[in-house]
Amino acid sequence: MDASEVIAALEAPGDDRRPLMWQLEADAPHASLVGALGAEVPLTRHLVADILGRRAEIESAGPLLAAIRDPDSGVRAAAADALGKVMLTHGPGAAPGAGPALLAAYDAEDSAGARHMLAAALGAARCREAIPLLRAAARSEDRGLVGSAQWALEQLD
């Protein structure tokens, strides 16, 4: 199965993609999933990032780090979440340079959902430079951001 087949499978009409997602998680070659991050349809890129996160393979760190700059906020959120899972599984060293990249992405982000995931990923990256930002986020009016920031700060203790 190559990237185009992964894309075609994810974009085929269907009511419930969960069985397909489980199958791709179990069987799709890593390179094919990474290639599918280049799909035109944002939902497809989002689903691929989710699969890569559930697999949490160290080789996914670089492509997921690049995907936090995707034009679509849902993809950015899914990529940050998936990158966090990779770093939680393999340690922050799995994604060298993730801390500064995540900080820059957080500062530039205008989507609340993506900011939640980026805040959590900063904790998974053990990015101590993010402590002031995370403390401010923990005092936010956005309850989701508060939860993500508090979790991230706990990772830094």
pLDDT digits (tens, 9 = 90+) for 16-52: 999 999 999 999 999 999 999 999 999 999 999 999 9
Q: Does residue 8 have a pLDDT over 90?
A: yes
Q: How many helices (H) and strands (E) does the chain have?
A: 10, 0
CA 64 to chain centre: 6
**Dihedral sign of CA atoms 133, 156, 65, 8 in order:** negative
Is residue 88 predicted with pLDDT exceeding 90? yes
Region label for 13, one of left (φ > 0), alpha (ψ between -120 and 50) or beta (otherwise): beta
pLDDT for res 157: 83
Decide if pLDDT at 70 tops 90: yes
> Where exactly are the structural domains of the chain?
3-156
Contacts of 136 (CB under 8 A, 6+ apart): none
Closest CA to 50 of 80, 7, 27: 80
**Domain 3-156 belongs to what topology?**
Leucine-rich Repeat Variant (1.25.10)
Percent share of the chain, pLDDT over 70: 100
Residue type, 27: D
Indicate the pLDDT class of residue 112, thresholds 50, 70 and 90.
very high
* 8 A C-beta contact, residue 131 and residue 153: yes
Question: What is the share, in percent, of the chain residues with pLDDT greater than 90?
Answer: 97
